[in-house]
Structure 1
Amino acid sequence: MEFFTLVKSRRSVRKYKTEPVSKENILKLLDCANWAPSASNRQPWEFLVVSGAWIKRLSESYRDIVEKFTSNVKIKNIGNIASNKAFLRFASDYGSAPVVVVVLVKKHSDPKEAKADLESASAAMENFVLAAANLGLGTCWMTGPLYDENGLHDILSIQDDKEIVAVTPLGYPEDTPKPVPRKDPNLEKKIIWLE
């Protein structure tokens, strides 16, 4: 797909077919992620590829987070009730995705190094989600599960010297959301030209 079209057509998918994603395609995506730019070319990212019963364990943690969140939200109309139910369904099994990918970096005591590695891993994640869209696969860049990062560390046996940057389900979309309008679509407020 032409790159500019790809960027504008990628969506955050929350409903997946149960059809498996081949290991070959997962490796293609991770290879694209691995080619991301990184601070001082440190390439600090690591990836956990989670499937099977492990997703159920991740989902239990995420569902607890979403239940707490939605119970604290003031519901103003029936649309929000439907949204909350859909959110809970998604959280209960990561939208039925057959794979979940977790992006990790090493923890740093130096905030500048920590920020550089977070930015680098975010670039890798962006490469991953764009490459997935190019193969007709869906993703949903998630940080919500990190509200229970300690729990995820326990579930996935992540070493104490690592932190989670992001989580994404991966699979073939059951449906593709409509585009969400851009805030400031003409970039009149988001760009400052210094000439």
Structure 2
Amino acid sequence: MTEVTATLNTQYEAFKSVLLDRRSVRKYTDEPVSVEHIRELIDCARYAPSDTNSQTWEFIAITNREKIKEIEELTWQELHRRAGEAEQRGLSKEARLLTKSFGPYATAFSNAPVLLICLATPYASKFRERIFDPIELVEDAVWEEEGIKSSCLASQNLMLAAHALGLATCPMTGPVLLAQDRLREYLSIRPECQINMVIALGHPAERPARLPRKPVDDILHIVD
């Protein structure tokens, strides 16, 4: 084995260790996360790939615990409203499940010292302006999806970087599914931006077990 190959193997093993050891953590210590660390994570996020380097992402970092609690509260308010509507339609069992099971899962960011709001910004590129839009290549909804795709890549960069720093994260869409409009109003988010997900960030107070994954052979199809 050459020295270069040995170095590459070491780099790969270090990377895969970060990849496999990352967990979605829902319990955090009271230790704050520094602004320097938040900025470092966003620095890693912005180097994710994106369609035509459009970089369709922005992040809001909330470090005020009272504001995080308020976001938790408005999420619960919307959840109870949805549960009430379900009960009126005769779906009492589903309403109970929404409250008892999904509620705590959707608000697991409540004790995190930082809540990151991942936004997908409008997709714009020279190709869209000069070619795609003039020939009406696809519907506008497809371009909205481009922003979501790229901001997801940036979020994964951020979460892996957080783990490498000794921090923990948990991505969630529950608050978006339940209270997107109220969250948008509360944070004065521009109407052209989509709320992709929220990410809890902090120092871990738990070490969840690694969840099983589908075998490679079940998800890989090689075409010769």
Same fold (TM over 0.5): yes
- Which residue in 2 is equivalent to 1:152? 183
Residues in 2 aligned to 1:173 and 1:18: alpha-carbon distance in whole angstroms: 10
Matching residue within 101, 110, 119 for 1:84: 101
- Asked whether the 8 Å contact 2:18–2:164 carries over to 1, the reply is yes
Residues in 2 aligned to 1:58 and 1:5: alpha-carbon distance in whole angstroms: 34
Residues in 1 aligned to 2:217 and 2:143: alpha-carbon distance in whole angstroms: 33
- Which residue in 2 is equivalent to 1:121? 151
Cα-to-partner distance string for 1:17-40 (whole Å, 9 max, x where unaligned): 111001111111000001110101
Matched, 1:58 2:45: no
Output the aligned Cα RMSD. 2.5
Q: TM-score, normalised by structure 2?
A: 0.74
Deviation of 1:64 after TM superposition, in Å, equals 3.5
- Which residue in 2 is equivalent to 1:3? 15
Deviation of 1:90 after TM superposition, in Å, equals 7.2
Deviation of 1:63 after TM superposition, in Å, equals 2.7
SS across alignment from 1:188: helix
- Asked whether the 8 Å contact 1:65–1:145 carries over to 2, the reply is no
Cα-to-partner distance string for 1:118-175 (whole Å, 9 max, x where unaligned): 1110000000000000011111111111111101101111111111111101000110
- Asked whether the 8 Å contact 1:21–1:98 carries over to 2, the reply is yes
Matching residue within 109, 120, 125 for 1:105: 120
Cα-to-partner distance string for 1:55-77 (whole Å, 9 max, x where unaligned): 112111233455557972677xx
Residues in 2 aligned to 1:127 and 1:101: alpha-carbon distance in whole angstroms: 14
- Which residue in 2 is equivalent to 1:15? 27
- Which residue in 1 is equivalent to 2:5? none
- Which residue in 1 is equivalent to 2:45? 33
SS across alignment from 1:4: helix
Cα-to-partner distance string for 1:66-99 (whole Å, 9 max, x where unaligned): 5557972677xxxxx9x839x62872x7241110
> Which aligned runs of 4 or more in structure 1 are off by greater than 4 angstroms?
65-71
Unaligned runs of at least 5 residues, structure 1: 76-80
Which runs of structure 2 are paired with 1:146-185 in the superposition (5 Å)? Answer: 146-147=176-177, 148-182=179-213, 184-185=214-215
Residues in 1 aligned to 2:147 and 2:185: alpha-carbon distance in whole angstroms: 22
SS across alignment from 1:96: coil
- Which residue in 2 is equivalent to 1:78? none
Residues in 2 aligned to 1:126 and 1:173: alpha-carbon distance in whole angstroms: 18
Unaligned runs of at least 5 residues, structure 2: 1-12, 84-91, 124-138
Identity among equivalent positions (%) equals 34
Residues in 2 aligned to 1:23 and 1:177: alpha-carbon distance in whole angstroms: 26
